[in-house]
Structure 1
Amino acid sequence: MSRHVWSDPDSFVKTPAMAVAVLRDLELPRIDRYLDEIAERGGVDLDALRRLSANTLVAMSGEAHLRVRRVIAPFFSQSGLAPWRPMMEEACRSVCEELKNASDPDLVRDVTIPLFLKVMPRILGLDLPPTPEHFQAAETAQRLTEPYLSLPTLRALNQAARLLVSTCPQTGAGEGSAPESLLACLRRRRGDLPDGLEPEYFVVGLLAGSNSATQSLAFALHGLLSGPAQLWADAGGPAWGAQETQKLLGLYQSTRTLVRVANEATDVAGCPYHKGQSAVVDIVAANACLRADSLRADRGTRQSHMSFGSGAHRCPGVFLSEMLIETAIPILARTFPDITLKTDECRFVVTPMMQAPTALPCSLDKTSRRVSARLCDIRDMGSAHRILKDNDAFAPPPMESHLTLLSQASGEDLDEATRIARNALFFMDGPRHEVLKQVLMRFLGAAQLQPWRSVVDAALDKALQELSAMARPDLVSGYSDPLRRSVMTRILGISCRDQARFDAIAPQLQDVLEPWLSMRKLRRVQAVFTEALSLMQVPAASEGPPSLLEHLVADAPAGFDEADLKAVVLVLYGASFNLSHTLSNALLSILSRPPEDRSAASGQAWVEANIDELIARCSGPKFIYRVARTDLSLGDLAMKAGDTARLNVHVLNRQSPAGKGHVSFGKGLHRCVGATLSVMVLKAAIPAIFRRFPNLALDVQAHRYHPMSETVALSTLPCIFSRTEPEND
């Protein structure tokens, strides 16, 4: 046997009935036997690990296993854990108070890890110091049940076991206190336990296992906060825990697979297994089947997941995990109703057996504040609406005048950068802006875009065909971006002497969206735009309606020469990358939902009903910038003339019910001129891909983001075309 047991996901056990049979009839891989093989090689001290392994339920069978289960069952029952609920609630409130003071809040570092350290050692009976070293030891020891570990990992496990056992109090310490810890209970009932069982090592093993409960809590927080805002709003309700905990444990349990081994030739539910053959139970797939069965039968929810296993070795901490979820999440949701995840900064650990967040950075509130001498972060919708709609009080960043002054002061030639700023709508103000916007809206308005639907449809067909041919399909490079490029080059009129070179440098055009660039970045952006402009040419007449550039050149607005008009179109093309970012983010969001929730995404009616919410939550831009024209106040926030207001788009959009009134495209005079076109493409692209690939699924946590300060932009979104879970038993 080896780690190759996970190499063929198609061979995994996915149906609930077969999963139950495998978990009942086959054995767990025994790390103690593996340790015996290591010991035979000599020279390796793994004594603490051997003792830890020998004192786990995994290592027990028969009467010894039953005796231990009988002793701990009352402790881990709902009534047995009830006396610990006040302590858990107080720990949650304490964590919330600490989170309020976090300078850079993270729901793993500042919530789930501290909660683990405050709760689990006390219940189990350890005097575990709340230090990173001791948490790391518990996290390392959690790998105890993972088979086929390397020798360095086994040494680390041994060291972790030694450190954790040293935190057990001396016999007699704390005895008689209420509620009674598990260690005290085991010591009191030592006569009921199997001979040779060491209670200290036993509770350390359970401590390591209990970290999966806090990992599942972190996973559930990620799921709730990356979904529609209403999910988090509902979580603060009084009955939420009782109604939703089982569903969350089925969806966000950190366990991905469980491994069992046939110690002898046997038959399991009609399927033969030879001696030494392993079976991998796909818990995620089995849970999906159970949810589907439950929905069809309209059953209750307790039977709707196998996240804690099944059979004799079912996890004893079921009710402890339930109590943690149903206690912690409502307290967090009520204390911090306006949490917004920084989705592109979230990180996961993924192994064949588990997955869990390792970082969940977030914003905690919707209070606007000053973050520097000249910069204010705008997070409340009232202030945002005033800023976006009151053109007398707030202007776009005056980049043309800024670059002119910067060029004069530095002696740097910034003529091309100044030309770009003068022709970028999001930096323009006054009559020149009004003239250009009117011309553009006569081309990009809803009625005027109807003739372009055939172009969008053709681009969709081509993108889907090319995606289907990819050996390693990726929804960014194989769908969202090719679709954007095909649609926008035709509609905007991007025609180049060297298209390959233009496409290579085009992603850097996005940097123009950020104001106040450093001189180093400014030089780079100017060089890219200068080269791109040199490659551009007015498209030759072709079938179909004339492109935007052709339209502009044929009837140039007053004050714009051909170079200006090419710059206008080039800036719009750079801004169009936000379409592919938003589409990719939306696809990730939909594919991250349970299969039963995402199945409707192939329907046009669903997309029409949900497009605002998707754009609000999944839009690429992080910020919109405006500059105060005069001294003024936004509530308690005083701003001086020249101060920059940075509107925090995703924090603001969380305040938009079902996405209605979101600010992803801005508002007022400076609302994005490409909004209607973007929505048209999104409405076509989202259902099209799910109609073409109804069993589309993510490659688990394999997506990655560009490290961009202004945009939430996926760099890769690997997927698979076939379903990993069957429809039913």
Structure 2
Amino acid sequence: MTEADPHMTAIALPTARPTPFDPPVELGELSGSRPITRLSYPDGHLGWLVTSHALVREVLADKRFSARSELRHMPIEPSGEAGRPAPPGMFISTDPPVHTRYRHLLTGEFTVRRMRQLTERIEEVTRVHLDAMERQGPPADLVEAFTAPIPAVVICELLGVPEDERARFIAQGAMLSRADVSYEDRFAAYLAMQAHMKELVQAKRAAPSDDMLSGLTRSDLDDEELANIGFMLLGAGLDTTANMLALGTFALLRDPGQLALLRSGPERVEQVVEELLRYLSIVPFLVRTALEDLDLGGERVGAGETVTISLAAANRDPARFPDPDRLDVLRPAGGHVSFGHGVHQCLGQQLARVEMLAGYPALFARFPELRLAVEPGEVPLRTDMAIYGVHRLPVTWG
């Protein structure tokens, strides 16, 4: 292993997408030629960018890399969070043993078995929104009518958010995921959402019901911890699945051959979901910080240096996925890192899968002639958001 080449040119994180579905071209080029390279961060930090599938998994599984928010630098514009420890309960930005304590309390709530038990309810929610969309008639914004409401209803029901309070929580959650607003505005939305969530926690303590938040009130977590866990789960449950459903529909509408395979039978649906997760990578990157000097991919990473992990590049790595830039639902399922890897692998991944397994086939069965209502280039993309997708997806049918 060698010390980092002082003459290695540091790049800024590539963000320009050549198509709505493909990551920046530069990421693919790096994955093949230089899977770890120097990255220049907007706050002046000099760290690293990792782009190969093998190195991404290596970093995410290595306990010498920290997820703590006070140690990291962000590869996009500074968020104002640098140097701030994660609030109590915000365990995705902590390391073991703190992370382990919170994760253990929640693992039982997100088992594959429990999520599959929710299938019937998720199918019912899907059906209700398709009914409403059909009654309204074409054209429709699929995001507003279908892809956003389904995960919103499901996560709110899981947490026990009363129906008359859901719109407020959803609006505040949307503000938190926007990359085009100031840190101060996002922080104000976070404080407001946390206050409302604390009120909900206190209501659950006083009158528990059959929901996840009520169950967690029987643990040793205090109100602040519970409010932050509820806030984190709500935010994660809203944005990610909604954008996978919308962007995935967009991708299938642009590839009739792949859509025909989805419609060919229920045995294909799981493969379709896994391939869309790989192909689209709506969470473009994760960030970790080295806790000590270490060797990675032939380079010497120094203690305190932040490593940006490109999930999008890893999921298009030709060393792991043959012909990676082609959407191929017949590809053997699995192997992607869209839900991360290691101890921080997404806790709600099975819930997301169930929602997609229900959503895609039901949508195309109800509207077999579904098509875009605008030219593909007119679909507004979420290039201004932390989670990639589409702001709107105008569709028509019949």
Both proteins in one fold, TM over 0.5 = yes
Higher Cα Rg: structure 1 or 2? 1
TM-score interval, normalised by the smaller of the two chains: 0.7 to 0.9
Q: Is the 8 A contact 2:27 2:51 kept in 1?
A: no
Report whether the alignment pairs 1:477 with 2:144.
yes
Aligned counterparts of 1:604 and 1:506: Cα–Cα separation in 2: 34
The structure that is helix-richer by fraction is: 1
Which position in structure 2 is the counterpart of 1:566? 227
Compared CA separation, residues 524 and 635, structure 1 to 2 (3 A):
same
Superimposed CA distance per residue, residues 263-322 of structure 1 (whole angstroms, 9 cap, x where no aligned partner): xxxxxxxxxxxxxxxxxxxxxxxxxxxxxxxxxxxxxxxxxxxxxxxxxxxxxxxxxxxx
Q: Is the 8 A contact 1:106 1:361 kept in 2?
A: no
The DSSP-based 3-state class of the residue aligned with 2:38 is strand
Report whether the alignment pairs 1:631 with 2:293.
yes
The DSSP-based 3-state class of the residue aligned with 1:532 is helix
Superimposed CA distance per residue, residues 82-133 of structure 1 (whole angstroms, 9 cap, x where no aligned partner): xxxxxxxxxxxxxxxxxxxxx979898xxxxxxxxxxxxxxxxxxxxxxxxx
Which position in structure 1 is the counterpart of 2:357? 683
Which position in structure 1 is the counterpart of 2:371? 697
Which position in structure 1 is the counterpart of 2:393? 717
The DSSP-based 3-state class of the residue aligned with 1:621 is coil
Which position in structure 1 is the counterpart of 2:69? 399
Report whether the alignment pairs 1:437 with 2:103.
yes
Compared CA separation, residues 107 and 627, structure 1 to 2 (3 A):
closer
Q: Is the 8 A contact 1:477 1:716 kept in 2?
A: yes
Superimposed CA distance per residue, residues 667-690 of structure 1 (whole angstroms, 9 cap, x where no aligned partner): 111111011111111111111101
Q: Is the 8 A contact 1:616 1:662 kept in 2?
A: yes
Q: Is the 8 A contact 1:622 1:648 kept in 2?
A: yes
Aligned with residue 383 of structure 1, among 52, 55, 67: 55
Give the share of equivalent positions with the same residue, in percent. 22
Aligned counterparts of 2:397 and 2:281: Cα–Cα separation in 1: 25
Aligned with residue 90 of structure 2, among 406, 424, 430: 424
Superimposed CA distance per residue, residues 612-634 of structure 1 (whole angstroms, 9 cap, x where no aligned partner): 21111123211111111111121
Q: Is the 8 A contact 1:475 1:716 kept in 2?
A: yes
Which AA in structure 2 matches 1:632? L
Aligned with residue 552 of structure 1, among 204, 208, 216: 216
Superimposed CA distance per residue, residues 462-513 of structure 1 (whole angstroms, 9 cap, x where no aligned partner): 22122222543122111110111111111133348744333322202336xx
Superimposed CA distance per residue, residues 576-603 of structure 1 (whole angstroms, 9 cap, x where no aligned partner): 2111111111111111102x44123233
Compared CA separation, residues 686 and 431, structure 1 to 2 (3 A):
same
Compared CA separation, residues 104 and 447, structure 1 to 2 (3 A):
closer
Which position in structure 2 is the counterpart of 1:588? 250
Which AA in structure 2 matches 1:368? I
Aligned counterparts of 2:390 and 2:127: Cα–Cα separation in 1: 23
Compared CA separation, residues 420 and 573, structure 1 to 2 (3 A):
farther
Return 5+ residue gaps in structure 1 as ranges. 1-102, 109-221, 227-339, 343-359, 404-411, 723-729
Aligned counterparts of 1:529 and 1:575: Cα–Cα separation in 2: 14
Aligned counterparts of 1:648 and 1:714: Cα–Cα separation in 2: 20
Which position in structure 2 is the counterpart of 1:3? none
Q: 1:379 offset after TM fit, Å?
A: 0.3
Superimposed CA distance per residue, residues 233-288 of structure 1 (whole angstroms, 9 cap, x where no aligned partner): xxxxxxxxxxxxxxxxxxxxxxxxxxxxxxxxxxxxxxxxxxxxxxxxxxxxxxxx
Compared CA separation, residues 506 and 677, structure 1 to 2 (3 A):
same
Aligned counterparts of 1:561 and 1:444: Cα–Cα separation in 2: 21
Q: Is the 8 A contact 2:139 2:397 kept in 1?
A: no
Q: Is the 8 A contact 1:474 1:716 kept in 2?
A: yes
Which position in structure 2 is the counterpart of 1:487? 154
Q: Is the 8 A contact 1:425 1:670 kept in 2?
A: no
Aligned counterparts, 1:218-229, within 5 A: 226=21
Aligned counterparts of 2:355 and 2:126: Cα–Cα separation in 1: 9
Of structures 1 and 2, the one with the larger relative CO (CA 8 A, separation 6+) is: 2
Q: 1:608 offset after TM fit, Å?
A: 1.5
Which AA in structure 1 matches 2:114? Q
Name the TM-score, length of structure 2 as normaliser.
Answer: 0.79
Aligned counterparts of 2:163 and 2:172: Cα–Cα separation in 1: 12
Aligned counterparts of 1:712 and 1:107: Cα–Cα separation in 2: 11
Aligned with residue 122 of structure 2, among 444, 456, 459: 456
Q: 1:450 offset after TM fit, Å?
A: 3.4
Which AA in structure 1 matches 2:216? L
Superimposed CA distance per residue, residues 351-392 of structure 1 (whole angstroms, 9 cap, x where no aligned partner): xxxxxxxxx88753303211124331110122111111111x
Compared CA separation, residues 400 and 368, structure 1 to 2 (3 A):
closer
Which AA in structure 2 matches 1:446? V
Aligned counterparts of 1:648 and 1:399: Cα–Cα separation in 2: 18
Q: 1:709 offset after TM fit, Å?
A: 5.4
The DSSP-based 3-state class of the residue aligned with 1:625 is strand
The DSSP-based 3-state class of the residue aligned with 1:662 is coil
Aligned counterparts of 1:499 and 1:584: Cα–Cα separation in 2: 21
The DSSP-based 3-state class of the residue aligned with 1:710 is coil
Aligned counterparts of 1:402 and 1:522: Cα–Cα separation in 2: 16
